Structure formats: structure tokens, C-alpha cells
Amino acid sequence: MRTFDVTVIGGGPAGLAAAISAEKEGARVLLIEREARLGGVLKQCIHDGFGVIRFGEKLSGCEYGARFIKELEKTSVEVSCLTFASKIEKTEEGFLLTLIKRSGLEEISTKTIVLATGCRERTAKQVSIHGSRPAGVFTAGTAQYYLNVMGQMPGKRCVILGSGDIGLIMARRLTLEGAEVLGVYEAKPTPSGLMRNIYQCLNDFEIPLHLSHTVTRVHGDGRVCGVTTAKVDEKMQPIAGTEEYIECDTLILSVGLIPENELAEMLGVKLDPSTKGALCDQLYMTMTDGVFSCGNALHVNDLADYVSESGDEAGKNAARYAAHKRELAEVHFDRNFLYVVPQRIDLTDKSKPAVFFFRSSEERKKTRVRLLLNGTEILKKTYQNLRPPEMERLSVDLSALPLEASSKLEFVMEELPS
Amino acid sequence: MDPRQKELLKRFGSNVTLEEKEGCVYLSGEVSSWEDAVSAGQLCAKSGSKTHVVNDIRVSGLEMKETKIPRFTDDAIDGKRPDVLIIGAGVVGCAIARELSKWKLDVLLVEKEYDVALHASSRNDGMVHPGIDIHPGLVKKKLNNRGNRMYTRICSELNVPFDRCGQFLCFDRKNILPILYMTLPYWLLTGVGATRVHTYDSLRKKEPDVSPEVKCALEFKRAGIVCPYGLTIAYAENAVQNGVKLSLDTAVLKMKLVDGRIKAVKTNRGTVFPKLVINAAGVFAEDIAEMAGDRFFSIHPRKGTNSILDRKARRFVNTTYSLMGTQSKDEHTKGGGVVGTVDGNVLVGPDAIETPDKENFDTDAKSIKNTFLRHSQVAPWLKSGDIITYFTGVRAPTYEEDFIVEPGRRTKNLLHAAGIQSPGLTAAPAIGEKIAKLAIKKLKKTGRVEKNAAFDPVRVPILRPSEMSKAERAALIEREPDYGEIVCRCEEVSRGEIIAALHRPVPCATVDGVKRRVRPGMGRCQGGFCGPLVLKLISQNLDIPEEKVRKGTQDSELLFGPKGAAL
């Protein structure tokens, strides 16, 4: 049986970075990818905006991925595409993985695992869309695959539900290919995607954005022939009498992403109900020793650059991990935060600043975020505004802090008069 | 005056009239709503009566939807002279076809849809009922009991997963316990089979996650679960393998009768001249009966919606359970409750709503909300967040709420398997047997009918590597590497399985057809990742351009063609 120090599951932006950084630490690394080619969702992201933070330049998703793949080729990382991790079992040495690939069923042993499995899209049924079940209802990512990878038009007259980034990007993309995008409907009173995408993908193409509106019903026997939209109240419930029928042949959904953690669950990795990803410490280790999580499998990121950053760290730390016993302190935060990642701090390694990512639970104007240790402020930062779609990053130097397992480390948020 | 007419007069004034003739109760007139038309029918019907209500009451302003039929015509079956023509490839039609394939007969099975099992046979909860709430005098009681007993053998021959898991009927009052013990002889007497009374503790050993409010329960051990469309497809495949001709996309349009016999049956794919016709047309059984000059009953469609929950919820259900009194307001719905499926999901539902539209498969938020509310009483763990999808089916009851499994009354070369609603799935093997017996009897009157010595009862299933042992799976992948390439990761379906599904005895060329056979897209991502891959495999293997690959029914092409081409 082949053995590895680090096995990275998933060859997207997180997994690529994790494999490269683990190998740099001298580990014997296996990277498995279920698709035929590396890159994950980057392969279908032909729009730009990738790499601004990491490379200081604007790249397409494909270019961004290619940079990592090129770097990976220089390493000794073993890459196995069209490979599916069917089963993971805990063993004394680490983990036993059952891999399914065209060349056969292989069991491998690995000391650590980096879960870089990305996320999946929420579907029509999960946002309670009713009516018939015709062809022409796609999630934005699937529509993007049809158009950008297969070169096929998934729609001609499209309605988009949800203002998530992929939906906004697809609104522009479909328009550029000659399709008609009749409008983007968002049940929330504020857009879900990045502001830059609202301007570049909708406003520039005069595609209307209908806030506080949703699609309640799909019509059509074979193909979609129309949808019913309605205004929603504060509880996002459709308001009777506001229904409108819109003739279209396609409904595209961009209504949220869900971290993929089926493998994590197989290992009993503890998940955080708000991120739907694993609970982890600042080294990206989950509450299961030897299992690391990064990228969108950990929490849904807004930028691929952050995904890669967490991959870098998870890969490196997985390589360094040598069954040392962790000592964890909990990270608390008040209700103004949607979530904070990491949720724990490993006290045995405070050499490097811990990088926290958080999202505000709602839109705020000028806001101060403070980090308290047992009630004493150790850091503060003021933001001109905070929006849930946009992730914030905070680096905190822990080395000099009297941090113990019993300490209360807490993030608090307070809105300031503007 | 007829007391029923009196009652009609009271409810609907002089708008509705009743006439009893030729062993039927004919209703005519006009009312203001579909509910009224149905309740007039119900008011005049006697449960299980052989005198059927034929309901011709119109609803003012209501335009009845036309039956959806294939738009194309050809001559694929034109001029054929089969011994038997079966109309409808649902579970009943396919079970009949398979039974008849045990004989040396020319059997033609026609179905208006693009695949088998597209109506009620794929749109139900897959319960194999013990028959607890069916009146012992009814036709369906006998067929249910017989069908239930046939399941183990049928499913093993056809290689279809079947689990006789049992069913718990729960009660929220402790003082009912002694009464439950007193019911035990009744279950034995009525053929329900092994039944056990459970106290609070013994129930929890079997189903630890039922609500704490449940105080005791009855366990019916003969209850089981099966994948209803999986069984139908298997029946159809085995029938075809044994010589039955299946013609899909074939709608019966008209029949020509001479001297009380069907001479010719016109379809969109040609006219055929069968010796005997079997009506297994589900919600359309009344329409077929009318074409055949034998309309002595009416069907009033009743829809029901089920939610499908993520595999994660399966740990709360070992079998199937429901709380007494919450199954459904409508007493004619047998199942209901939470059902753990053979595929590892959980079903919640169904409800029961009368509808004039026989093909109304729309779902509504209200149905989902109501069934969740109702079944949370027994399953407090139900979370709408676990729903991965939902579906609606339309039942085909008569007003007498019993099955009609008998020869035509006015037309000689006709057999009916009509009014088949719940527990139709359970009864299907027995209906197949009974109709085949009647058919052979009729055919023997005009000539010799021989056994088909070549009949092979065993259907070879599509391999399912994810359920094999590691050694078996490794050996398979070594032989056929396509089984080592996973296309659908939620359900762990390989390329090999998908390609196999495209080359079975019953043709399949659609994304949904593949989904029903080997499950890609059935999981939590609902085909988000594998949908395009399945589409490509269909395109490559069957040589269909990508933009011509359909989701399912006609006009359901998924793509509009290469980008850059004129839109």
C-alpha cells in the first residue's frame, strides 16, 4: 500500500495551493481530483478579477488556475485526476482512503488529509420554487459549464434568481453571447454579490435588478415557458397580489453555495452550523486530529485569492503536523458577526499571526471591530462599511499574548456614528 | 324519489340529475366547481359497489385540459396484428406484459410517454402495504394481500431491491394499548399478516427517533419498501427480454368497434388490429374505456405530493412510521408518514387533493408545509432544510374507490385494470397475474395458447459497483475501467453504469431516464455537477447532437446549440 504524509482532496484553487505548500515543507503529497483536469471551478471562470491580491494583477480564473498548475508541475506532488475518494477510515497511523479510478480501486494510507472539496450550489427546490419541472432550470454554475466549457447556449430568454456573484457574472456572459437577460430577482433587500459585479455585470448592460422580489413558480411542460415573480415582505415571504408572469425559456439560480463536507462527515469532523464548514483552529486543522480544511469547503469565500491563501496554510500545517497534541482556546464573537473563522486557536503554535476571516450579519455603516482577551482590548479596527457578501480579513499577532485554554478571546462589533 | 337524487337536489338544486341504467349511475348537469362535481359523484357512489358512477357533470367555466400526446406521427406499428394490445406502461401494464410473456403470444405494450413508469408508477412513496385499512370485501383487498405475498419472489427474479422493513402505526394515547392487543386477531383474519403491539420502550428499540408523544404502536411486519419506477422498469425489461414488443411515444387515439368487438386501434404510430385489448391506462382508463365503447366507471384524479429528504435524514427512520389520524384527511390514502426508501432517502407525505387535470404534476409550497406540519407530530426531527426535492403524483380512483380488474362489460375483447390507486403498487403483481389469467381464458376460446418454454424470469440488473465488496469492485474496474470513473459523486454513479443504462432492453435516451435507472442527479446537488456529463455521455453513446439531448418529455431539450450560432 502506498503511503503519503499529506493527501489533498480536491484540485481547485484551495487544493492546488495546499498541495504545493505541503510539498515545499518536504512532505510526500498526493493530490486527488475527481474531474479529468485540475482547476476545479476555475476552469469555467473565463471572466477576470482573479489574483488581484495574490499576484497584483487581474487574471481570468483559467489563467489564475494555470499559474498554480504550472508551479505544481515543478514539484514532486503526485497528481491523480478522475479519482474519487469513496471512503475514509481512521487508522492508527492516520487514515485509510479508498480511491476509485479508471486504473482500479486503490487503498492508500496517509498521515494527514486536507479537505479542499469546495462547495456546491443551492438548488431550486432548496429555495422552495414550485410549479412544474421542465428543462431550462439551471444553477448558475451549471449554466456556466454549458456555456464556457461545452460552448453550448443554455438559454435564450433568461430570468436570474439570486444576485450571487456567479449569477451576476452569468447575466453578463449570456448577454455577451446574444441571449436576453430579462432581470435579476433578489429576495433580500440588498444584493448578495460583490458591488463591483453589480456595476460591471448588470448596470453596464442595463440589466434590471429587482430587490425584495423572488420567483415563486416555474411554468412549462417540456421547456420553461415562463416564471411567476412576486414581491416579498421583510420575512422574505411572497406578498399576495404582487405576482407577475414573465415569459422566458430559462431560469438561472444563484441562490447560495453550500460547502461540500460529505467526506468530513464520514470522518465525524465537527461542523459549524453557520459556515456549514468544519470547525477549525488558526492552522486550519479541524476538530479531528490530522484532518485539515480550507477554501470553500471551510466557508464560502468571496475571492479565489483567499481560497488559495487558506490552502497554502492548510497544506503547510498538514505537512508540519506530527501528531503533536493540540491545546485549543475558543474564539467567541457577538451576534453582529455572521461568523468568524477560525473558531479555535491552537496554543501550541503561536509563532505566526493568526488570520481571521469574518462576515457581518447585516449591512452596517461605520463600524468598529475589537478583539478582547479576557475583557482587555488587544486589537481594534474601524470599517467605513460592512456588508455580508463581502468577507473581511484580520491578522492578529498572538505571540506576546497571555493566551490559555481557559482565556476568553472575543470579537465584538459596534456601529459608530458616521 | 331516489334518496341520492333527493340529496343531490338539496346540495345542487335541479342542476344535477341522476339516472341508473345498464348497471351504472349516470350523473349529468352543471355545477360551479370541480369539488362540487366530485362530491356529487362521491355522494352517489357506494364503496366497492359494482354499480359504478359515471360522472358527466360539467363545471361551468372549466375547460378540461387536453391529454398530452406525442406531436409526431409515423408508421412504426402500423398494420400489426398482436394477440394482445396492452395500453399503458405503468407498473400494472408492465406486470401484465411480463405475465403474458410466459405464453407464446404476440404482445404489444403501448405507452404515450417517452419512457415507462412516468405517471403514478414513479410518483408514489414505494410502500408495499400490508393492507391494514382496506375493507375486506373489496377487490383491492384480495389483490393487495396476494400482491404483498408475491413481492419477495418477484423482486428476487427481477433483481430489484426490496426491503420488508415493516411499518409502525403510532398512537399518542397510552390507554389505547389494551385495544391494540384486541385488534390482533382482526389482522390475522384479514390477511394483514404478522402484527405486533409495541409499548413505549419496545417501539424505541426499533425506531428511537419517533416523537416522545408516541405512547404505543402497532407493527405490521409484512409492510415493505421498493423503488416503484425501478420495479416498473425491471418488469418492462424482463417482458421485452421475453418477447413483448414495447412501443413508447404511442398514444391511442381512436378505436373501431364491430359487433361489440374492438377491430382496430388507431395510434399516432399507426393502426393495429389486436385480438384482445387490455386497458391499463391509469388516470386515462376512463378515456380508453370510452373509446372502446365500455365506459361504465369514472376516474376522478387525486393528486398527492411527497418531499424527498437528504440521506442525512435516513438515520432517523429505520422503517416507515406515521401517527394514527395524521396520515391524510382523505381516508383513501394508504401510506403517508415518513418512509425510509431503498435508495437511502426519506419520503414525507403524501397529501390528497382532488384535481380535474389528470397530468397536473405541479407542486405547491402549501402541500409541503402541511405534510411537514402533520408528520412532525410523529417525527419531530423533520427539517425543511433537509428537503432535496419534491414531486407530485396523480392517483386514479373510481368513485367506488375500488379496483376494476375484470372483462369489459359491453365490449367482448377487452379487459380492464382500472381505478388502480393506492395500493396499486402492492397489488400490481397480483393484478398482472389475474389479468393474464383472464386474457388466456379469452384467447383460448379462439385457438390454442401455448406456454413460452423460453421464458426467463430473471432480469439481469445494471451493476452497482458502489454496493459491491472492495474485491468485487476492484475486479470489475480492472475488467471495465468505465466502472472506475465516477460521474455523479452524490450517489457515486460511474460512467459504466450510465452507459449500461443507455443500452438496456427498454430504450432510454434522456437525462431523466438515466436518472431513474442508475440515479445520477438524485442526490443533494440535484445534477448540478453531473447533469452536463450525463448529457455528454448520452450524446456520445447514442450519437445525438448535444442540443438535441432531452431532459425527458418532448420539447425538453436542455441546450440551444453552439454559442456563436445565430440565436
Candidates B551, B2, B331; CA nearest to A221 is: B551
Query: Would you call B66 an interface residue with chain A, using a CB distance cutoff of 8 Å?
Result: no
* Element of type H or E holding A6: strand A2-9
CA atoms of B49 and B73, how far apart (whole Å)? 41
Cβ pairs A/B, distance under 8 A: 139
What per-residue confidence (pLDDT) applies to B170?
96
Strand A2-9 with A29-32, pairing:
parallel
**Residue A339 in this model has a pLDDT that exceeds 50:** yes
What per-residue confidence (pLDDT) applies to A418?
73
Query: Residue B495: phi, psi to the nearest 5?
Result: -55, -40
What per-residue confidence (pLDDT) applies to A61?
98
* Element of type H or E holding A135: none
Asked whether B235 and B158 are in contact (CB, 8 A), the reply is: yes
- Per the CB < 8 Å rule, is B482 touching A126? no
List, in sequence order, every residue forming a beta bridge with B31; answer none if it has no partner.
B59
Candidates B549, B553, B552; CA nearest to B561 is: B549
CA atoms of A313 and B561, how far apart (whole Å)? 43
Indicate the domain borders of chain B.
3-59, 84-121+229-299+400-444, 167-221+301-395, 465-548
Residue A238's CB is within 10 A of a number of other CB atoms, namely 21
CA atoms of A241 and A238, how far apart (whole Å)? 9
CA atoms of A341 and A294, how far apart (whole Å)? 11
What per-residue confidence (pLDDT) applies to B559?
98
Ordered DSSP codes for B404-429: EEEE-SS-TTEEEEES--TTHHHHHH
3-state SS assignment for residue B265? strand
**Residue A116 in this model has a pLDDT that exceeds 90:** yes
Q: Give whole-number Cα distances, A250 to A47, A70, A144, B486, in Å.
A: 22, 38, 13, 29
* Element of type H or E holding B26: strand B24-31
CA atoms of B216 and B208, how far apart (whole Å)? 13
pLDDT per residue as tens digits for the range A274-307: 999 999 999 999 999 999 999 999 999 999 999 9
What per-residue confidence (pLDDT) applies to B329?
47
State the cell numbers at B26: 349516470
CATH tag, B167-221+301-395: 3.30.9.10
CA atoms of A121 and B242, how far apart (whole Å)? 44
CA atoms of A246 and A302, how far apart (whole Å)? 31
Strand A213-219 with A130-131, pairing:
parallel
Same fold, B3-59 and B465-548: no
Query: Would you call B24 an interface residue with chain A, using a CB distance cutoff of 8 Å?
Result: no
Asked whether A361 and A338 are in contact (CB, 8 A), the reply is: yes
Nearest Cβ partner for B388 among A125, A152, A155: A125
Contacts by residues A280-283 (CB-CB < 8 Å, ≥ 24 positions apart):
A280/A341, A280/A342, A280/A343, A280/A344, A281/A326, A281/A328, A281/A342, A281/A343, A281/A344, A281/A345, A281/A346, A282/A342, A282/A344, A282/A345, A282/A346, A282/A354, A282/A355, A282/A356, A282/A398, A283/A313, A283/A314, A283/A317, A283/A346, A283/A349
- Per the CB < 8 Å rule, is A135 touching B552? yes
Cβ within 8 Å of residue B562, ≥6 positions away: A151, A152, A153, B547
Query: Would you call B387 an interface residue with chain A, using a CB distance cutoff of 8 Å?
Result: yes
Lowest mean pLDDT among A43-47, A132-136, A324-328, B362-366: A324-328
Candidates B287, B241, B392; CA nearest to B65 is: B287
Q: Computed over its alpha carbons, how large is the radius of gyration of chain A? A: 22
Sign of CA dihedral A320, A322, A324, A329: positive
A contacts of B556 (beta carbons < 8 Å) = 134-135, 221-223
Q: Look at the block and give the residue holding cell 436570474.
A: A160
Q: Give the distance from residue A371's alpha carbon to the nearest chain B alpha carbon, in angstroms.
A: 34
Lowest mean pLDDT among A201-210, A345-354, B124-133, B345-354: A345-354
Helix axes B139-158, B424-444, angle to 10 degrees: 90
CA atoms of B306 and B422, how far apart (whole Å)? 14
Q: Give the distance from residue A266's alpha carbon to the nearest chain B alpha carbon, in angstroms.
A: 11
Longest dimension (CA), chain A: 66
A contacts of B560 (beta carbons < 8 Å) = 152-156
> Which DSSP symbol is given to B564?
T
* Helix, strand, coil share of chain A (percent; to 5): 20, 35, 40
Domains in chain A (CATH in brackets) are 1-121+257-324 (3.50.50.60), 123-255 (3.50.50.60), 326-418 (2.60.40)
Candidates B548, B550, B547; CA nearest to B563 is: B547
- In a 13 Å sphere around the CA of A135, the CA atoms on its Cβ side amount to 24
Cβ within 8 Å of residue B461, ≥6 positions away: B159, B160, B234
Could you tell me the fold of the domain covering B465-548?
Arc Repressor Mutant, subunit A (1.10.10)
CA atoms of B250 and B482, how far apart (whole Å)? 34
Nearest Cβ partner for B559 among A82, A86, A146: A146
Asked whether B343 and B229 are in contact (CB, 8 A), the reply is: no
Query: Residue B114: phi, psi to the nearest 5?
Result: -80, -10
3-state SS assignment for residue B37? helix
> Which DSSP symbol is given to B543?
T
**What are the per-10-residue average pLDDT scores of chain B (567 residues)?**
90 92 95 96 95 97 94 98 98 98 98 98 96 94 98 98 97 94 95 96 97 96 98 98 98 98 98 98 98 98 96 94 70 69 95 94 93 94 93 97 98 98 97 98 95 98 97 97 97 98 98 98 93 98 98 97 81
Residue A407's CB is within 10 A of a number of other CB atoms, namely 15
The one-letter amino acid code at A200 reads: Q
Q: Give the distance from residue A8's alpha carbon to the nearest chain B alpha carbon, in angstroms.
A: 17
* Element of type H or E holding A347: none
Q: Give whole-number Cα distances, B171 to A164, A417, B318, in Å.
A: 46, 59, 18
- Per the CB < 8 Å rule, is B558 touching A103? no
Tell the burial category of A51 from Cβ atoms under 10 Å away from its Cβ (0-12, 13-18, 19+): buried
**Residue A133 in this model has a pLDDT that exceeds 90:** yes
Asked whether B285 and B396 are in contact (CB, 8 A), the reply is: yes
Candidates A77, A65, A3; CA nearest to A38 is: A65
Strand B195-198 with B224-226, pairing:
unpaired
State the cell numbers at A352: 505566526
State the cell numbers at B546: 448535444
Nearest Cβ partner for B567 among A125, A134, A156: A156
3-state SS assignment for residue B524? coil
State the cell numbers at A167: 449569477
CATH tag, B3-59: 3.30.1340.30
Query: Would you call B484 an interface residue with chain A, using a CB distance cutoff of 8 Å?
Result: yes
Average pLDDT of chain A?
94
Lowest mean pLDDT among A50-59, A392-401, B127-136, B326-335: B326-335
- In a 13 Å sphere around the CA of A283, the CA atoms on its Cβ side amount to 26
CATH fit for domain B84-121+229-299+400-444, picks 3.30.470.160, 3.50.50.60, 1.10.3720.10, 3.40.50.300:
3.50.50.60
Strand A213-219 with A226-231, pairing:
antiparallel
Query: Residue A162: phi, psi to the nearest 5?
Result: 100, 140
Q: Look at the block and give the residue holding cell 485540475.
A: A38
Q: Give the distance from residue A173's alpha carbon to the nearest chain B alpha carbon, in angstroms.
A: 11
In chain B, which among 505-534 make CB contacts under 8 A with chain A? 524-529, 531-532
pTM: 0.92
What per-residue confidence (pLDDT) applies to A322?
54
Asked whether A23 and A17 are in contact (CB, 8 A), the reply is: no
Residue A347's CB is within 10 A of a number of other CB atoms, namely 18
Query: Residue A399: phi, psi to the nearest 5?
Result: -60, -40
The rounded percent of chain A whose pLDDT value lies above 90 is 90
State the cell numbers at B521: 442527479
- In the residue annotation, B52 being an active-site residue is answered as no
